[in-house]
Structure 1
């Protein structure tokens, strides 16, 4: 009887432990994405228009095909909508695609958080 209880326990609760989730990956890693994204920001966007000082957090989705979408920026500030539109444009200029996150081998949507420290028209290269 004890065997059956253990087998039932493993059957109902054990499968969750076997599922594997793999994070989304950019070719060259997180640092390569940050560098390429910020290069596009500085090539196409006049950051001085926004007078940003300090850390800005970019939150976006990476879909099942490796494309970025649904960009949000924290903290909120004056002209936030225009800034987000400009950042979306810069993000579209990044040519390399992400390898999407997977769960049990199936591509899934995932969130990515990127923190950038802006100060006097420069950014922290980490």
Structure 2
């Protein structure tokens, strides 16, 4: 019994150190995982908006008589996205703007060549 009493403080200290290491790892990992999830969502939306903007720009290029250059909104993944198209010389500029997960405005623009 005398031998066990000598190590009681060491066992408690070892447990306390192990717990503090685990707690430090958890408090470091949770914000990183949250940030990665938010950035993945931003990238998913950016990719989907880019694809939709490409499709809309193709319609403006290949069916010019039906092209309407007034801005309009569409909803995608609970985001309101504003599409605007503007003819410039031989190109059509198509832009999409929306508010991302960080509550900042994001804008993607594509340019299409209009054959004469």
TM-score normalized with structure 1 length = 0.39
TM-score normalized with structure 2 length = 0.41
Of the two structures, which has the highest relative contact order with CA contacts closer than 8 Å and spacing of 6 or more? 1
Which of these two proteins has the greater Rg computed from alpha carbons?
Answer: 2
